[in-house]
Structure 1
């Protein structure tokens, strides 16, 4: 082979390799969006962004994953608490300040967006995030994000996880949230969200966990919640919710945990709650009144049942003894009277389960 032919062949090979590299690299627009996102953040201890170099953001950029076919950025997964080597080597959890740049919205094929437990990230959730049509996961737990949940959040028809717990978010729950018909996990705990729970929340038919505790929510519990067939965990505790407990909650097919403690709920305890599939029921620190329904049966199985700090009166229903299991029971700080039943589950309970009532007696309290 002549020298000229060899040079020409080499040039063709180099050209083909460069073209191949360009085809398999992430688009320059995605790379630019990631760098703009990075520029709005400061991570001083771990150096997680040190790998964000080179032209191919799909190759060894920490926390970034791309679609294998399109080479578009599909996932951003940055967690401040992790078991990965970079955290173990530093012997610390992560800390990051700054804000979430709207440049993230230029990643139009983004499927999951996790920037969780960094403690110092502030600013607001970019409203444009609601216009990312492929987004399935938003996980921003454990930061200092303020502002509101974007009002257009309901546009995200593929969204399955929305977790903004442990932040400084205010405003109300957007009405459009009820349009998230694929949503399975909703966690807005420990923020400053106020206003009512939307009456249309029952449209979230795929929802299995609704964690709304530690906010400033008010109004009544929407009866439509009982139409969420898959709901297993409902936590509305530590809010300002008032009115009665809907009887329909006790008729839900898979509801196992119901926390309504530390609200302003009134009325009587629905019979359905005590003869349901709920195993962890906390109604403490409300304004419930009337008798504890004598409605326990073999279907009743409670790992924890807390009715303390209410205005309940009358005697302890004897039917509790027919429950399949009662692990923890707290009836303290009410106006109950009469003899504490004997036998299971009362034989393993301590006095703290019964104190500060009007006239309860019998073991483990004083004799009648």
Structure 2
């Protein structure tokens, strides 16, 4: 009787284990993914053994009900004890295997800051209809953004910054109606911004600096009500700054520096919610709008290296706060105001203008 009970218990344990384990197809996909990568120092994949990839496989999480693999989170810079014991950040080579697309219930894919992972983003990634997070920052991934990326209707985070991605931003990207965080910084992306960029209505951060993006800033961007941080610096953008950017309700950071933007500074930008404004190293001309007031609050105003002319606006002295101000390398002329914030600024904020005078430059 005792032996019979042991057999029953063993069978029950086997059935329960089978029910709560990841399916063999998910395990096979993970092992194929692992086989395409080489991590020589930390032993990141040492725990990837046994039949149950839902338990104690480093960086792998499963859905509690379906027991399908739901999340892969592998970061090369982490507080995990593996890194603390090794006293180093991670380094991994190889590529992202298309077999990862067999994980049909995957909602999060983070393979970040490994420095040496190359190859392309698997095109089949767009078949993962449950994917919410795609974070591949800090590798050497090349090729283009998959053309039909817009199929990922649940995607909230797309971070492929600090790679070698080239080609254009696909038009389908503007169909990502749930996207909240877009980070394409420091790649080789070229061509114009999609005209319908403003369809990304849930977007709060759009970081696209350090690429080769050209053409005008789409006016549709101003229709992204939630957008708080827009960084288009260090590209090849041209044309005028849309007046409507200064009417955005929650935009606080606007970096357009190091482009080929022309025209004048919209008055609306200086009376908007923007508190960090960098328009330096463009070809802006005309006068700085004399539109500051008691509600004006700027941590940064950088207008250096343009073709701005005329006097420094006197209303700057009425602003509630001006932290960093840089007006150097323009064609400004006249007396530098003496009140705050000018009483704490250095000469470097005003040098290389046509005829500015007064403290901290030479006397008038």
Corresponding residue to 2:144 among 142, 148, 163: 148
Give the drift of 1:284: 0.2
> Is contact 1:109–1:132 with CA below 8 Å preserved after alignment?
yes
Gaps of 5+ in 2: none
Partner of 1:166: 162
Give the drift of 1:9: 2.7
For 2:188, what is the secondary structure of its paired residue?
coil
Partner of 2:80: 84
Corresponding residue to 1:8 among 4, 7, 16: 4
Give the drift of 1:125: 0.2
Would you say how many aligned residue pairs link Structure 1 and Structure 2?
364
Corresponding residue to 2:265 among 266, 269, 287: 269
Give the drift of 1:324: 1.0
String of CA shifts for 1:217-275, please: whole Å, max 9, x gaps: 00000000000000000000000000000010010000000000000000000000111
My pick for the range that moved more, 6-15 or 16-25, is: 6-15
Corresponding residue to 2:102 among 83, 91, 106: 106
String of CA shifts for 1:150-201, please: whole Å, max 9, x gaps: 1110000100000000000000001000110100000000000000000111
For 1:176, what is the secondary structure of its paired residue?
helix
For 2:214, what is the secondary structure of its paired residue?
strand
Q: Separation in 1 of the partners of 2:189 and 2:298?
A: 31
For 2:101, what is the secondary structure of its paired residue?
helix
Partner of 2:334: 338
After TM superposition, the structure 1 = structure 2 runs for residues 9-24 of structure 1, keeping only pairs within 5 Å, are: 9-24=5-20
Partner of 1:203: 199
Gaps of 5+ in 1: none
Give the drift of 1:296: 0.8
For 2:201, what is the secondary structure of its paired residue?
coil
Corresponding residue to 2:343 among 333, 342, 347: 347
List 4+ stretches of structure 1 deviating above 2 A.
5-10
Q: Separation in 2 of the partners of 1:6 and 1:364?
A: 95
After TM superposition, the structure 1 = structure 2 runs for residues 57-136 of structure 1, keeping only pairs within 5 Å, are: 57-136=53-132
Q: Separation in 1 of the partners of 2:163 and 2:64?
A: 34
> Is contact 1:217–1:239 with CA below 8 Å preserved after alignment?
yes
Q: Is 1:324 matched up with 2:320? A: yes
For 2:10, what is the secondary structure of its paired residue?
helix
Corresponding residue to 2:21 among 10, 18, 25: 25
After TM superposition, the structure 1 = structure 2 runs for residues 185-224 of structure 1, keeping only pairs within 5 Å, are: 185-224=181-220
Give the drift of 1:140: 0.2
Q: Separation in 1 of the partners of 2:87 and 2:145?
A: 34
Q: Separation in 2 of the partners of 1:345 and 1:11?
A: 83
Q: Separation in 2 of the partners of 1:324 and 1:9?
A: 80
After TM superposition, the structure 1 = structure 2 runs for residues 294-313 of structure 1, keeping only pairs within 5 Å, are: 294-313=290-309
For 2:166, what is the secondary structure of its paired residue?
coil
Corresponding residue to 1:236 among 232, 237, 241: 232
Corresponding residue to 1:253 among 249, 253, 257: 249
Give the drift of 1:7: 3.0
Q: Separation in 2 of the partners of 1:321 and 1:181?
A: 43
Give the drift of 1:299: 2.3
When the two structures are superposed, what TM-score results if normalisation uses the length of structure 1?
0.98
> Is contact 1:276–1:299 with CA below 8 Å preserved after alignment?
no
Superposed CA RMSD in Å reads 0.6
